[in-house]
Amino acid sequence: MTEGTLLSVEDVIVDLPTPRGNLRAVDRVDLTIGAGRTLGVVGESGCGKTMLSRAILQLLPKRAKLSGRVMFDGQDLLQLSPEKLRKLRGRSLAVVFQDPMTSLNPVLTIGTQLIETLQEHLELDMAAATRRSVELLAAVGIPAPEQRLMQYPHQLSGGMRQRVAIAIALSCEPKLLIADEPTTALDVTIQAQILDLLAREQRRRHMAMILITHDLGVVAGRTDEVAVMYAGRVVERAPTPALFKKMRMPYTEALLAALPKIDAAPHTPLPAISGRPPDPTRPLKGCSFSPRCRYAWAQCHVEKPRLEESNSPAHQFACFRPIGTGAGAGA
Amino acid sequence: MLGFVARRLLYLVPVLIAVSLLTFLIASLLPGDLAYTILGDQATPEKVAALRQEMGLDQPIWVRYFGWLGNILQGDLGRSFRTGQTVLQAVTERLPISLELMVLAQVIALAIGVPLAIICAARSGGPFDRFMTGTAFGMLSVPTFLSAILLIYLFAVELRWLPATGYVPFGEDPAKNLRFMVLPALTLALAEWPGIMRVLRSDMIATLQEDYIALAKAKGLKASRILFVHALKPSSLTLVTITGINIGRLIGGAVIVETVFALPGIGRLLVGAITTRDLIILQGVVLLVGAGFVLINFIVDMLYAMLDPRIRHGHA
């Protein structure tokens, strides 16, 4: 663990027993994030990004098996007692879930849900906690915050609810915020607002943030580093500018190609990635992406490429036929 | 909220009219002539005809219904032709016994069922959960008369802690009254806690899968707060419903338990009225019990709204 590292995920494996056999949701993932830095985790549905975030939070389903190490702020979260873990959660490790329609308790007021976190971790009295809740709601752009405290989640729009969820996550000034697809359930018009709010608060509070999304466009201008996940593995990892300048993994390229482009001619069909991700209960021998990869050759189908650095140590990828080596793009 | 209460109260009017109509029809359709019943086998046809005229039995049924309804609205539910007691007197005399029994039984059943349900849900699939679920299933299939007799045998005959049968009014001697009420209330509670436990347990297990419970955990809240504040309230709608049904059922008295423990409650009043063909008492009591049932359901609706703000705001 290097100086300034806040979270390091080392060799993490998450196995879920299913009736069809063992499902390896996360397969030997290594990630680090420094204090105050932002990391984007990108991948399509089912690639294991949510399971990875749950593994960091220690909120996996009961039947899930987790192995590896999750070091946060100098402590191994897997070895922590439940009581110590509880004191850490919400205090220095916070999360915003995907769907604000289901992540707020429908029978408790906004105020209760904000104040309980403040009182749990900061030992504030009721008046101070209420004052701080109003400030927090105002900070995340909620109009008339005093009245909101008395309201229930169903009285707020989806965007407003996600702002409340963000206010709850920010309430105790966490060191790390995990935002798990925070805009997927929201209207397109609201998405940019919520992402900008997260980016602004992240900078203002010098908090580290993991932004999980299926949309490469979301992480483009908002993260320091990007990790691309496919079939439970990190397949490419690079500083954000380097990734967009020169992506090496064919899967990353395919993901980017699948984004609609603003300067494309009208009615241009979107290039979808053909095929489907592999069945996670039936692991492939070779590269998981090889059946869908247009560059794949014989080696890709029989051997799993490791995540390795190339000419630049910060840029890692798991591919035998990376783009731009002549073997990949030239083929 | 006020509009919600007023709307629900308005719904009660047609329901209560339907209850009164059904009560009257059922009592009228029972075989046998009321006049014969009153006068006995030896009555002459002339006497019967005279009595029928006096009681209005020769009138068409709808005239009799509206006459009866009119009297009720003026507070007159009629009078037993056997004892001369009015329906209201008979009910007010016996209702406190049935109500006390009902309240005690509910309190005991909830005190057993709710904590067990929460513990089982928190550790669902564990050995305690499986043991309790099995026990609850077994208890559900024990009939009331059997558990009553077993309880009497254990606590009254063997241990001699509590009296087997009898009753003393609460106002006369509260301690003695409670001693008489414990076994009957326990008998009823033994039949009811398994249902309470099973519905609350399964609702809690479903609630504990919700995203907002995951968020509550991610917020670092204490396990007790997550269970009692975040999970219990949204899980208790079915619990409130079945408690409401239990209460409504027991307003009409617990016939078997009142009989076994010799408690002079509503249940025994009804059974007595049926065996002696005391139709006036029967239809009056059934009407009052029906109205009580409707009222309990109204209270259950109000509790729903208190538990879930979405119902109160008309979103659900």
Residue A58 covered by a domain: yes
Residue A86 covered by a domain: yes
Q: How far apart are the first and last CA of chain B?
A: 15
In chain A, the number of structural domains is 1
Torsion of the alpha carbons at B90, B93, B95 and B101, rounded to the nearest 10: -140
Residue A85 covered by a domain: yes
Per-residue model confidence (pLDDT) at position A56:
93
A103 and chain B: CB distance < 8 Å anywhere? Answer: yes
The predicted model scores a pTM of 0.82
What tens digit of pLDDT does each residue of A72-84 get? 998 999 999 999 9
CA A247 to chain centre: 20
Chain B positions touching A102 (Cβ under 8 A) are 210-212
A90 and chain B: CB distance < 8 Å anywhere? Answer: yes
Domain enclosing residue A29, as ranges: 5-92+172-281
A254's CB contacts (< 8 A; 6+ apart) are A271, A273, A292
Q: Quick check: A152 and B219 CB within 8 A?
A: no
Name the residue facing B230 among A91, A105, A168 (closest C-beta): A105
Chain A positions touching B221 (Cβ under 8 A) are 86, 90, 116-117, 120
Per-residue model confidence (pLDDT) at position A65:
93
**Shortest Cα–Cα distance, B299 to chain A (Å):** 19
Chain B positions touching A105 (Cβ under 8 A) are 212, 216, 230, 234
Contact yes or no for A276/A15 (Cβ under 8 A): no
Token pair, residue A205, equals 């509070």
Residue A331 covered by a domain: no
Q: Quick check: A106 and B308 CB within 8 A?
A: yes
Q: Quick check: A152 and B221 CB within 8 A?
A: no
Query: B123, B205, B212: which to substitute to probe chain A, counting the most A Cβ within 10 Å?
Result: B212
Chain B positions touching A97 (Cβ under 8 A) are 211, 214-215
Cα B296 from Cα A184, distance rounded (Å): 44
Residue A142 covered by a domain: no
Band the pLDDT of A1: cuts 50, 70, 90.
very low
Per-residue model confidence (pLDDT) at position A136:
94
**Shortest Cα–Cα distance, B81 to chain A (Å):** 54
For residue A18, give the H/E element and its range.
strand A5-18
Name the residue facing A106 among B218, B222, B310 (closest C-beta): B310
B102's CB contacts (< 8 A; 6+ apart) are B188, B247, B250, B251, B254
Residue A321 covered by a domain: no
CATH number, domain with residue A40: 3.40.50.300
* Average of per-residue pLDDT values in chain A: 88
**Shortest Cα–Cα distance, B128 to chain A (Å):** 17
Residue A253 covered by a domain: yes
Residue A21 covered by a domain: yes
- Does position A254 have pLDDT exceeding 50, yes or no? yes
Name the residue facing A97 among B215, B221, B310 (closest C-beta): B215
- Does position A2 have pLDDT exceeding 60, yes or no? no
Partners of A17 in beta bridges: A22
Nearest to A279 by CA among A68, A22, A7: A22
What tens digit of pLDDT does each residue of B230-285 get? 999 999 988 998 998 888 888 776 888 888 888 888 888 988 888 888 888 888 88
Per-residue model confidence (pLDDT) at position B37:
75
Cα B203 from Cα B121, distance rounded (Å): 9
ipTM of the complex: 0.87
**Shortest Cα–Cα distance, A263 to chain B (Å):** 39
Per-residue model confidence (pLDDT) at position B280:
85
Contact yes or no for B120/B197 (Cβ under 8 A): yes
The backbone torsions φ and ψ at residue A306, rounded to the nearest 5 degrees and listed phi first, read -90, 160
Quick one: average pLDDT of B90-107? 90
The backbone torsions φ and ψ at residue B86, rounded to the nearest 5 degrees and listed phi first, read -75, 160
Q: Quick check: B230 and A108 CB within 8 A?
A: yes
Q: Who wins on pLDDT, A15 or B40?
A: A15
Per-residue model confidence (pLDDT) at position A3:
53
What tens digit of pLDDT does each residue of A103-120 get? 999 999 999 999 999 999
Q: Quick check: B234 and A107 CB within 8 A?
A: yes
* Average of per-residue pLDDT values in chain B: 87
Name the residue facing B211 among A91, A97, A155 (closest C-beta): A97
Name the residue facing A121 among B220, B309, B315 (closest C-beta): B220
Cα A163 from Cα B278, distance rounded (Å): 67
Closest residue in A to B304 (Cα) is: A107
Cα B8 from Cα B64, distance rounded (Å): 30
Q: Quick check: A107 and B211 CB within 8 A?
A: no
- B120-to-A2, A63, B141, B190, B226 alpha-carbon distances in Å: 45, 17, 20, 18, 15
Chain A positions touching B219 (Cβ under 8 A) are 89-90, 94, 116-117, 120, 168
